[in-house]
């Protein structure tokens, strides 16, 4: 087995038909319910609800095996576009839900804002190295969390390096933001919600169509997904779900995040917070970094992580993925990791963390939520990160990491 496949929920193995892992299920369920009670008492009921929402996101990500990294890799290397088409469905649904609400500024009386950031040189460079890190580390921001929760021990290495890279990126961000940059540009504000939505939907449809053409040109047909070993209620509870089902669920859950948090789903700002707190604990003068100079960020740095929306949702994602893996009977960590694979995990994690800070987000905060918010920087992120993934896919074999291809068959 290749090192990239260790404990990966992307692959259906002989373990997929095993019974529910009861101990792991109980640990996950206790963590979700107990954690919600704890966060509710420390912070407030809304934080507890966001924690449970994070758990739902983790369960969906795992059961649908909704990977951004693998989807981009198999398209780049093998022109299989099912994963990219699912992402376009997710973005289309989210944009349709978000744009009218963001234009009005409120959702059911709750003030809401999108994740709109400047389109700058730091975004281009940050997204590019993030794309390389995706392939070397073996996951994106959401992928690292849900596969770590699902039992991938290699992803624990990537996650640790991701957190370290995020803290370093926070320390350096003031230098990068001084480089040439466009202002924050919201397509919703510039064009109005309906024109902006029409343009985005047309782009999503074009990208999906291109993947269909290229996949048929390479393989003579669209490669079908692996058949599910389960049907009905068993499939709903234990997976695997169709990718499109995951796309719909993620879009709806991001919309719920917009309502509860007042802004869309993000992941990596919490990593910068955790890494900075660790750095402060070992003696670095983190408070002097310009990144933490605002009153709001000083409060985050000095306060409990349970008061941070992104942190509690990230915790929830890990436990939700653990519950999903346990229900699927596939929670089985493997602790032996080849040295080259471990090195790639460290380097990839550092690139992921550093790149995410420079680019104002990751595949969730910049790509998913940024584009769903109508932010120009989300589209810049997509292009730069895609080219980073092209390079990252080429270097994977140097570290003993798999690049999945299917055998060509005669038409």
Residue 408 lies in a domain: no
> What is the distance between the alpha carbons of residues 85 and 242, in angstroms, rounded to a whole number?
12
Is 411 inside any structural domain? no
Share of the chain above pLDDT 70, in %: 94
Tell me the pLDDT tens digit for each residue of 128-183: 999 999 999 999 989 899 888 888 889 999 999 999 999 999 999 999 999 999 99
pLDDT, average across residues 241-259: 97
Contacts of 34 (CB under 8 A, 6+ apart): none
Residue-range definition of the domain harbouring residue 207: 15-399
Instruction: List, as one string, the DSSP characters of 109-138.
Output: TEE------EEEHHHHHHHHHHHHHHHHHT
Tally of domains in the chain: 1
pLDDT band, residue 407 (cuts 50/70/90): low
The pLDDT assigned to 375 comes to 98
Stretch among 21-35, 216-230, 286-300 having the lowest mean pLDDT = 216-230
pLDDT score of 237 more than 60: yes
Query: Which pair of structure tokens corresponds to residue 303?
Result: 């306060």
Q: Report the SS3 class of residue 150.
A: coil
State pLDDT tens for residues 115-142. 999 999 999 999 999 999 999 999 998 9
Residue 153 in domain: yes
Cross-strand pairs, 118: 184
For the segment 253-263, the average pLDDT, to the nearest whole number, is: 98
- For 65-87, write each residue's pLDDT tens digit: 998 999 999 999 999 999 999 99
Percent of the chain with pLDDT over 90: 82
| pLDDT category of residue 236 using cuts at 50, 70 and 90 | confident
Average pLDDT over residues 266-279: 97
Q: What's the average model confidence in pLDDT over 334-345?
A: 90
pLDDT at 13 over 80: no
The mean of the pLDDT values for the chain is 92
Show the tokens assigned to 146.
Answer: 């849900």
pTM of the model: 0.92
Does 309 reside within a domain?
yes
pLDDT at 3 > cutoff 50: no
Cβ-based burial of 224 (10 A; exposed 0-12, middle 13-18, buried ≥19)? exposed
Decide if 6 is inside a domain.
Answer: no
Q: 286-316: per-residue pLDDT in tens?
A: 999 999 999 999 999 999 999 999 999 999 9
pLDDT of residue 336: 85
408 pLDDT more than 90: no
Alpha-carbon gap, residue 204 to 371, rounded angstroms: 11
Look at residue 178 and tell me if it is in a domain: yes
Q: Other C-beta atoms within 10 Å of 52: how many?
A: 19
Residue whose C-alpha is closest to residue 330's, from 56, 10, 3: 10
Q: What would you report as the CA-atom Rg of the chain, rounded to the nearest whole angstrom?
A: 20
pLDDT over threshold 50, residue 188: yes
In a domain, 4, yes or no: no
């Amino acid at each position: 087995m290749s090192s990239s496949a260790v404990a990966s929920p992307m692959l259906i193995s002989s373990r997929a038909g095993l019974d529910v892992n009861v101990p792991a299920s109980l640990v996950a369920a206790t963590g979700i319910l107990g954690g919600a009670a704890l966060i509710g008492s420390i912070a407030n009921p809304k934080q507890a609800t966001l924690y449970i929402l994070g758990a739902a996101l983790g369960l969906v990500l795992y059961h649908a095996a909704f990977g951004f990294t693998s989807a981009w890799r198999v398209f780049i290397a093998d022109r299989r576009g099912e994963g990219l088409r699912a992402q376009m469905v997710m973005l289309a649904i989210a944009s349709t839900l978000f744009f009218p609400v963001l234009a009005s500024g409120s959702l059911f009386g709750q003030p809401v804002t999108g994740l709109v950031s400047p389109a700058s040189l730091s975004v281009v460079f940050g997204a590019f190295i993030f794309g390389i890190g995706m392939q070397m580390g073996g996951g994106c921001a959401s992928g690292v969390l849900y596969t770590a929760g699902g039992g991938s021990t290699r992803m624990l290495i990537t996650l640790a390096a991701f957190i370290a890279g995020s803290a370093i990126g926070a320390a350096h961000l003031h230098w990068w933001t001084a480089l040439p940059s466009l202002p924050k540009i919201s397509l919703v504000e510039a064009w109005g919600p309906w024109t902006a939505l029409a343009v985005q939907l047309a782009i999503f449809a074009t990208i999906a169509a291109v993947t269909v053409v290229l996949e048929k040109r390479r393989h003579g047909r669209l490669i079908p997904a692996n058949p599910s070993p389960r049907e009905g209620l068993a499939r709903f509870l234990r997976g695997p779900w169709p990718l499109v089902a995951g796309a719909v669920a993620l879009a709806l859950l991001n919309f719920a995040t917009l309502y509860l948090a007042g802004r869309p789903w993000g992941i990596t700002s919490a990593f910068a917070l955790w890494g900075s707190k660790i750095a402060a604990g070992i003696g670095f003068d983190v408070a002097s970094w310009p990144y933490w100079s605002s009153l709001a960020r000083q409060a985050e740095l000095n306060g409990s992580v349970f008061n941070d929306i992104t942190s509690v949702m990230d915790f929830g994602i890990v436990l939700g993925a653990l519950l999903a893996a346990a229900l699927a009977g596939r929670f089985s960590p493997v602790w032996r990791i080849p040295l080259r694979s471990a090195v790639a995990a460290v380097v990839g994690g550092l690139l992921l963390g550093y790149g995410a800070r420079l680019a104002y987000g990751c595949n969730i905060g910049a790509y998913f939520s940024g584009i769903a918010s109508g932010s120009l920087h989300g589209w810049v992120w997509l292009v730069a990160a895609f080219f980073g993934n092209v390079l990252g896919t080429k270097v994977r074999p140097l570290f003993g990491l798999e690049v999945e291809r299917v055998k060509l068959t005669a038409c």
